[in-house]
Structure 1
Amino acid sequence: MPSLFRRRPSLGLRLLLAAVLALVLLVVDQRGPRLVPLRGALLTVLHPLQQAVDLPFRVWDWAADTLRARRALRSELEALRAENLHLHLQVQTLDALQAENRRLQALLDSLAQTPQPLRALIASTVKVGLDPYVGQIQIDKGALQGVFVGQPVLDAEGVVGQVLHVAAQTSQVLLITDARHAIPVKAVRSGVRAIAVGRGPAGALDLPFLPNHVDLEVGDVLVTSGLDDLFPADLPVATVSSISRIGEGEFAEVQATPRGRLDRIQEVLLVWPPEPDMGPPAPDGAAPPPGAPTP
């Protein structure tokens, strides 16, 4: 009766037989091309197996490369977003600087157009009053810069007010539209003199106590008359906007619109009155004029 369990060759014997077979195949392969077809057939048969074995490694390499590329792209995207934001901020800053340069150039141009040379200082607005009934702003120049109470304040278009209070580094400016402010003016066309008084929240000027037959027309330009010994003469102040001549009344109702942009003041000019003209120097031996200081 045959045995149910056959004994297989030992592991050592099988290893020996495999080694001998390998040596035989190596010798045969070196002696001639007899095994080339067999090698090609084996490579063809084993190629899918090689691909299947190599597939997990290739998938792992592809996934690792994809993750690295994704992280690199995400880092680059964040860097580009930060750079884009920084560039936008730079563009906005550049636009603000260009606008400020245009305003400052307009201020300097307006100063050059004054009928007489004036000494001026540029100041910036640091605070605007929130009370509509009080027309005041605060600027960043004060007593240390030589600012004094009552000093005229202009913008590129005309007079905006005068200094009300002075501190060491700041000053309060009372706008010409404030009801407490009044300034002597004259019409460029007709030479009519008047007092321009602020109307408070209305943002306009009144010219009170002018007779009905006053020689003023809508559109007339009003400039400083210089009669107050504070504002230099011929500085633009306002433009006549309306004239109401009441038949029974004695006075006309005249209103004017300020030339200065009081609702958007950012930089202003602090103006010093012109130096008094001492006249030509006296010739040698001549007596000095009365009141002149003696050496």
Structure 2
Amino acid sequence: MEHQQTNFFVRGPSPLARLTFFAAVSLVLMVVDARLHYLGEVRQGFATLLHPLEIIATSPVRLYRSIQDHFTTVESLNQETQVLRDKTARLAVDLQRLPSLQAENDHLRQLLEARQAMQQPARMAEILHVSRDPFAQRIIVNLGSQQGVLAGQAAVDGAGVIGQVTRAYPFSSEITLITDRELAVPVQVERNGLRAIAFGHGRDNMLDLPYLPVNVDIHEGDKLVTSGIDGTYPVGLAVAIVKKVERNVDSPFAHIICVPTAGTDRHRQVLILTTMPSAAIPLDEPHPLPKKKESRHHAPR
């Protein structure tokens, strides 16, 4: 009498069939999100649900910083106090000259019929973490749409421009740094007012000024500031310092490398300028400037 053998393992679809199915689903979702933006609300919901997990994940870092600040020695505090006293004394001397300089500045503005500069409102945000993607220069801060942060607002620090808010979640925001390849900043040379557009390398902490002629009036050490023509960044904010200018007779364009003046690796806080540009920038899209084309000159790796 033959006995029927029992299968201990029930086999489902083959690994190749599973791979094909999930790859097709992924492609469909990417096309739908890129064309119709149907997944924007889903992304917002996931960001809200994952916010408590982000708080839990970053709690060890905050605890470590609290313990580190708690065990700061009295000697280091005394040294810092002495340095601050010396700095305060020097600033007090400079402050005595401020009323006369301000009066002279107001007089010159009246002569030139220029309007008074308005102070840019801003919010202070703290950096939660940095993107782990080596090809994306982005950071996440602890202010979101619930605190009035919107996509398209500029982010700065005490040294200059850091980047631009590209995604605003309910309780956090994503800031794309000016060193990212997808972001461009209109700048001008402070020395002579020459205008250009700075692009990030994406792979290092450098900026590039492409498509400028070989005989352009730019030298090493020139300071680049925002030109304000895009309506996002106020005029005159520091952006970068020209580090290297290469002029090749075989190319009609100069190869200009710049170092940003600001940096998120130096501080934990940034300022988000709360004034929106004249044209609203759609969510999940970087600043709408023309993308940089591939150039024959590349920075050495």
TM-score between the two structures when normalised by the length of structure 1? 0.55
Matched residue, 2:239: 237
Distance in 1 (alpha carbons) for counterparts of 2:221 and 2:198: 15
- 8 Å contact 1:118–1:274 — kept in the other structure? no
The amino acid across from 2:123 in the alignment is L
> For residue 249 of structure 2, what is the aligned residue in structure 1?
247
Q: Hey, what does 1:226 align to over in structure 2?
A: 228
Within a 5 Å distance, the mapping from 1:84-233 to structure 2 comes to 90-92=70-72, 116-233=118-235
Residue matched to 1:44: none
Q: How far 1:130 sits from its partner (Å)?
A: 1.8
Query: Separation in 2 of the partners of 1:190 and 1:146?
Result: 37
Distance in structure 2 (CA, Å) of the matches to 1:230 and 1:191: 19
**Which structure has the greater CA radius of gyration?**
1
CA distance in 2, matches of 1:263, 1:235: 19
Q: Which amino acid aligns with 2:70?
A: Q
Q: After TM superposition, give the deviation of residue 203 of structure 1 in Å.
A: 1.1
> Residue 127 and residue 186 in structure 1: after superposition, are their counterparts in 2 closer, same or farther (change >3 A)?
same
Question: Which AA in structure 2 matches 1:90?
Answer: H
Letter in 2 for 1:270: I
Residue 218 of structure 1: how far off its partner (Å): 0.5
Residue 275 and residue 116 in structure 1: after superposition, are their counterparts in 2 closer, same or farther (change >3 A)? farther
The alpha carbon displacement at 1:219 in A equals 0.5
CA contact (8 A) 1:238 1:256 kept: yes
What is the RMSD of the two structures over their aligned residues, measured on CA atoms?
2.8
Cα separation, 2, equivalents of 1:261 and 1:123: 14
The structure with the largest helix share of the pair is 1
Inter-partner Cα distance in structure 1 for 2:263 and 2:277? 28
- TM-score under structure 2 normalisation? 0.54
SS in 2 for 1:241: strand
* Distance change in 2, residues 1:131/1:252 (3 Å): same
**C-alpha displacement of 1:146:** 1.1
SS in 2 for 1:144: helix
Paired residue secondary structure (1:211): coil
Cα pair 1:117 1:274 within 8 Å, conserved: no
Q: Which runs of 5+ in 2 are unaligned?
A: 1-66, 85-116, 279-301
SS class of match (1:149): coil
Question: Whole-Å Cα distance in 1 between the matches of residues 267 and 131 of structure 2?
Answer: 12
Q: Secondary structure at the match of 2:240?
A: strand
Letter in 2 for 1:144: Q
Asked if the contact 1:231/1:273 (under 8 Å) is kept, the reply is no
Contact 2:181 2:201 in 1 (8 A): yes
The whole-number CA distance in structure 2 between the counterparts of 1:162 and 1:240 is 21
Cα distance in 2 for partners of 1:186, 1:167 equals 33
Structure 1: distance between partners of 2:258 and 2:222: 9
Other structure's SS at 2:197 match: strand
Q: Using the alignment, how far apart are the partners of 2:267 and 2:212 within structure 1?
A: 31
2:269 is matched with which residue? 267
Q: For residues 187-241 of structure 1, give each alpha carbon's deviation from its aligned partner in whole angstroms, at most 9, with x where no partner exists.
A: 0001111100000122100000000111101010000000101111111000000
Give the counterpart letter for 1:163 in structure 2.
Answer: V
Q: CA deviation at 1:133?
A: 1.4
Q: Is the 8 A contact 2:231 2:277 kept in 1?
A: no
When residues 167 and 245 of structure 1 are mapped into structure 2, their CA distance, relative to the original with a 3 A threshold, is: same
Aligned partners of 2:162, 2:68: CA distance in 1, in Å?
35
